[in-house]
Structure 1
Amino acid sequence: MRRVKILEAAAAEASVAAAWYEHERSGLGAEFAAAVEAALDLLEDEGTPLSPMPAEAGARGAMRLMLRRFPYDVVVIERGDECIVVAIAHQARKPGYWRGRDRL
């Protein structure tokens, strides 16, 4: 079992996105939060396949797990037996804004 650590900035991004979805439709924020939780649970399993991030970020080791139903990636860096969540990033907004966080 892999240990998952979530950066404070990534947790804040998930909260902001959940609040936005909840504002759009009652209950949708909870569904987003559940999708994030499900992704984090999957990250604990070392057999979960992760996709490399494109371009330079991928070359530096950033990986992603796409959320189901929502256009967000859980962006992670693997360090030994630890998986560090550096961002909960929208797939189309401000690509790569989190890149400074991957230099742990």
Structure 2
Amino acid sequence: MNSIVFYPEAKKELFNAIQYYEDCQTGLGHRFRRSIETATQNILSSPLTYRILKPPFRRYLLSKFPYSIVYSIEPNYILIIAIAHGKRRPYYWSKRKL
């Protein structure tokens, strides 16, 4: 398995979070994006390592930002379901179709 696919809403969440952090402080959005890139590489390397939330969903917690990456393991790729803020609307993404 060597590819990541973003659910359309997850891609929007990512861009919105990057823009928010960049608006807060120049360069912070870039740091957030790099944190997401590192996380997705870690997920690709060891997709079964991270906590199961609600099958088939797993969660990777970012260490320096209050976000998590919610994903599912598909036969040929990792599907990023959400870039979810840790303090907002828990499980809002659970109704997204696989």
Would you say same fold, with TM above 0.5? yes
Report deviation, 1:47: 5.9
Equivalent-residue separation in structure 1 for 2:42 and 2:76 (angstroms): 14
In the TM superposition, structure 1's runs of 4+ consecutive aligned residues that sit over 3 Å from their partners are: none
Q: Is 1:90 aligned with 2:85?
A: yes
Secondary structure at 1:69 match in 2: coil
The corresponding residue for 1:72 is: 67
AA of the residue aligned to 2:28: L
Report deviation, 1:42: 1.2
Secondary structure at 2:82 match in 1: strand
Report deviation, 1:82: 2.4
Question: What 5-or-longer segments of structure 1 have no aligned partner?
Answer: none
AA of the residue aligned to 2:9: A
The corresponding residue for 2:95 is: 100
Structure 1 residues 98 and 47, CA gap change in structure 2 (3 angstroms) = closer
AA of the residue aligned to 1:45: S
How many positions carry a matched residue from both structures? 98
Report deviation, 1:2: 4.0
The corresponding residue for 1:4 is: 4
Question: What 5-or-longer segments of structure 2 have no aligned partner?
Answer: none
What RMSD, in angstroms, separates the aligned Cα atoms of the two structures? 1.6
Give me the identity figure in percent.
Answer: 29
Report deviation, 1:67: 1.1
Q: Is 1:35 aligned with 2:29?
A: no
TM-score, normalised by the number of residues in structure 2: 0.89
Report deviation, 1:34: 0.6
Report deviation, 1:33: 0.7
TM-score, normalised by the number of residues in structure 1: 0.84
